Structure 1
Amino acid sequence: MRMTFSLSNIMMTRRIMQSKRSSSIGVTITLWLFGLHLICAHNVKSPTALTIKEDSGDLNQVEETQLEDEDPEDLEVFHPTNNWQTLRPGQAVPAGSHVRLNLQTGQREVKLGEEEGLKYWRDGNRQGMMNMQAPSFTAQELKEALKYFKEGTDDSSGTKQDEEEVRAKFRPIEELKKDMKALDMLIETDVQVMKRLLTQFNDSKSTSEEKVAALLDLEYLVHQVDNAQNMVSMGGMHLVINALNSTDVRLQESAAFVLGSAVSSNPSVQVEAVEGGGLQKLLTLLATQRPMAVKKKVLFAVASLLRHFPFAQSHFLKLGGGQVLAELFQTPGAEALRVRIITVLYDMIVEKELISQAGLDLIPDSTHQERLRQYAEVSLLPVLVEQGWCSLVPELLASSEHDWVEKALRTLLAMMAQCQTQYKQNPTLMASLNELHKQYKELALTEQDIGEQDGYFGEILALVDSMVVKMQHV
């Protein structure tokens, strides 16, 4: 029985492949038809059979002919060669062909796309297109593929081996479901975690290491406003404040760290901390002999508690907080804390000035008036003058750290209204300012040479000049 496939049959097969590409059944049927075609073409040569024959002549000079049994719509398909040829109106070109407009004749011209790897062939009345880059298969390989298709399976031994390899690499879905179910049971909300940590911290059976670990985990959570407020409602603030009295310096340090993080930008928690005696216990730790690591965390907690909280600032002055900081400022070995201390003082001074200046541009309301009243009760500058800060702050100007010098200059300017007389009577201060003027003038010029007109050193130089001018002002 002779089986022949015209070009229209092959095109129909190609359409089947395109429409069934996502279906494994369509791909298998196409492979079977293509295999039968090549096998028959290999054994029986038919005038209408599709065969591939290399032409030893120049393919560029091959003339185009039409297949006798081609569909009428296929007659309009133009088969380009490697040379430019005129394209008649109504003719279609294969994808990947190059088309251009001849400006002299006004005709469109087309030639075969070189990058596609395609070649057109002709054998008598038969012609077609061959992909030179496509993989080739022998007749025997196609017969083997057809054999497996008829049997309905591939090599069973290889399939079973592949399945075993897959099973070894991946866990069964049943085990994964059990693990995911167990994981769901382990998920805790922040509130549940804080309850567990506070229970662990308050447990008399917990070791010091376990209590410190619980506090550090708690500190990570109370950065969020809601978590800090929930900790208060759980009684956690009381536990943390009591831990400041612990004989274990590690617990003191960790408790101060938690307290400082919980009250940061959280007014309701600030109130609870002050009313719970937290500020007084923090000042006690600063005034007594403690490791430097503990005092750093305690000073952090004090700064967080005083920031934007005039009630706490007033309470801080009544408890002698300014004097405690002055003694700590002069303590040998506490030099690293000096810039932190004057930053606390500077923040409190500037806050009061800013709230007063903001009142000039805002429509007064009950809230703003209450804040003004509370800040009016904070007499910070007179206390600082009395405790000797007018002469303590200038000591930082001798530092080699630019950041320290900047903060010292800003604090000196903030205290100028109360300390001007003492500044003028301090010869060391004036000498320091003259030396700083020379130093930062050179640094500012270096900045300008590299294109930084408003650099950091220029900013410090402006602070030095401002100090000099205000000190000379009567």
Structure 2
Amino acid sequence: MCGGELSVCLRGLKQSEDSTDRDTLPVSASHLLIPPETVTMRLISSRARGASFSCLTLVFLLLLHCHHIPGIVGQKSDSALTVVENAEGGGEGEGGDEEKEEMGNLEVLQPTEQWQTLKPGQAVPAGSHVRLNLQTGQREVRLGEEQLKYWTQEHREGEETQSSFSPDELKKAMKKIKEDLNPESVASEYRPLEELKRDMAQLDLLVETDVQIMRRLLDQFNSSNTTTEQRLSILLELEYLVHQVDNAQTLCSMGGLQFILGGLNSSDFRLQESSAFVLGSALASNPVVQVKAVESGALQTLLTILATAQPLSVKKKVLFAVASLLRHFPYAQHNFLSHGGLQVLSELFRADGGGVLRTRIVTMLYDMISEKELISQAGLDPVLDASHEERVQQYSKVSLEEELLEKGWCNMVPQLLESTEHDYREKALRALLAMAPTCVDQYRSDGSLLGFLLSLRDQYQEMVQSEMILGEENSYFSEIVELIDALQVKMK
């Protein structure tokens, strides 16, 4: 018995000598449980077989001392490692039951993917990977290769199982969807508007429609207790609301148009400006309001303001209202000409030195000429709708070209080319092209106009070339050059 233990110890000693360059020694624990109190460890090295003489010598010396250490036989060391067969392996013999009882009293350490220190009194499950750390003298354990592979697969399958739904859960979800799609259940989740209004009224909250808001604003505007600042604030709110076609028409039906015209006649230029702004926004692309405005005398009021001394800000907003009233409305254009509208605009054009009003006036004239031309061109095609002939007849009554020639606009519009603003020049060129059928003789007789066009073309051609060098094509300046070329063709 002593000799067997000594041979194992010698094998472990020889293995330790051959492994001085390594920190740890692996020990297979497959299908085994490892108790910490064992005395020996199987550390077999192939090089030990080549050193049989040294082993025999050491065995002889140690045998001499075996009778001095009889108490060691059968004892277990805390620093050694013994490989014990697994209980499931069915070890036979008299010691089998004792070993099973002994293993039942051990504390089993459950290994993980990381190395853990195996303390005395602990054992590990079968298949674990155990090693001896020669630097610290501690035993370390982790999951074996087969255990690690099995644990990873089991963990992944567990996640997949958790992400799936059971048949009962799917049935409950389908039932919930059907309940949500039921109109009665949907309606039951919402409360009627009147009930919400009552509840909000109790909370001192007021829900108003646009109609109610405009009614309240008009009442406040007409009140004698309302200050000028409050009226300006009311007009600002109304301007926001009348951008909607229905709101603008509703405002007129409430009598709001009269209040706005009253603001235009106010002695406070701020009320005049804000009222003109509201009127222009309500008239834009709204034929119903355009008709009511003409019937209410809004055109005469606007022309009167333009003909009198007013701040620039007021005249800008009034021109906006006039343009909104005349656009796509030949009846209003006819009244505009019959009430001397072009004469008023010509005086305003000559008085404006900065070009802001001039640009707005020229743009308005260009729109009127283009509308009439488009209607005449559409007349060459099949009838688009039942009212087409009526519109053609109404535009035929608008003698705009004769008025432009008579009031001297053929010589006034080219003056806008002298501006340094590219936008002003572009609008002037477009207006000159639209007026060319009527004013071509005046253009040809104006020597300064032809020379100025040549100078402008050279200027913008240089800008186009500069942009082409920078890799820019189809620029804004190239469009201006095209307009100049087209006008020069008309003048030839």
Q: TM-score, normalised by structure 2?
A: 0.62
1:334 Cα deviation after fit: 5.5
1:456 maps to amino acid: Y
Kindly name which structure, 1 or 2, has the bigger radius of gyration based on alpha carbons.
2
1:434 aligns with 2:454: yes
Residue number in structure 2 paired with 1:148: none
1:282 aligns with 2:302: yes
Q: Structure with the greater relative contact order (CA < 8 A, sep ≥ 6): 1 or 2? A: 2
1:294 aligns with 2:355: no
> Is the contact made by 1:273 and 1:279 (CA closer than 8 Å) also made in structure 2?
yes
Change (3 A) 1:407 1:224: same
How do residues 310-325 of structure 1 correspond to structure 2 at under 5 angstroms? 310-325=330-345
> Is the contact made by 1:394 and 1:412 (CA closer than 8 Å) also made in structure 2?
yes
1:420 aligns with 2:440: yes
User: Match of 1:361, SS?
Assistant: coil
| CA distance in 1: counterparts of 2:157 and 2:385, whole angstroms | 76
1:188 Cα deviation after fit: 1.1
1:238 aligns with 2:258: yes
How do residues 3-18 of structure 1 correspond to structure 2 at under 5 angstroms? none
1:94 aligns with 2:114: no
Residue number in structure 2 paired with 1:258: 278
Residue number in structure 1 paired with 2:239: 219
Unaligned runs of 5+ in 1: 1-44, 68-79, 98-177
Of 343, 355, 358, the residue aligned with 2:363 is: 343
Change (3 A) 1:247 1:87: closer
User: Match of 1:451, SS?
Assistant: coil
Change (3 A) 1:92 1:207: closer
Residue number in structure 2 paired with 1:403: 423
Of 403, 407, 414, the residue aligned with 1:394 is: 414
| CA distance in 1: counterparts of 2:473 and 2:124, whole angstroms | 77
**Residues 383-416 of structure 1, C-alpha deviation per residue, up to 9 Å, x if partnerless?**
0111111011101111111111100000000000
Moved over 4 A (4+): 45-54, 80-88, 178-184
How do residues 28-177 of structure 1 correspond to structure 2 at under 5 angstroms? 47=106, 55-56=116-117, 65=126, 92-95=153-156
1:52 Cα deviation after fit: 7.2
Unaligned runs of 5+ in 2: 1-103, 129-141, 159-197
Change (3 A) 1:55 1:258: closer
**Residues 422-462 of structure 1, C-alpha deviation per residue, up to 9 Å, x if partnerless?**
11111221111011110111111122223333211111001
> Is the contact made by 2:355 and 2:416 (CA closer than 8 Å) also made in structure 1?
no
| CA distance in 2: counterparts of 1:341 and 1:436, whole angstroms | 22
User: Match of 1:366, SS?
Assistant: coil
> Is the contact made by 1:259 and 1:301 (CA closer than 8 Å) also made in structure 2?
yes
1:378 aligns with 2:398: yes
> Is the contact made by 1:328 and 1:334 (CA closer than 8 Å) also made in structure 2?
no
| Identity rate, percent | 54
Change (3 A) 1:87 1:335: closer
1:211 Cα deviation after fit: 1.5
User: Match of 1:327, SS?
Assistant: helix
1:463 aligns with 2:483: yes
2:263 maps to amino acid: A
Residue number in structure 1 paired with 2:180: none
Q: CA RMSD in A?
A: 3.1
> Is the contact made by 1:306 and 1:312 (CA closer than 8 Å) also made in structure 2?
yes
> Is the contact made by 2:109 and 2:125 (CA closer than 8 Å) also made in structure 1?
no
Of 304, 308, 321, the residue aligned with 2:324 is: 304
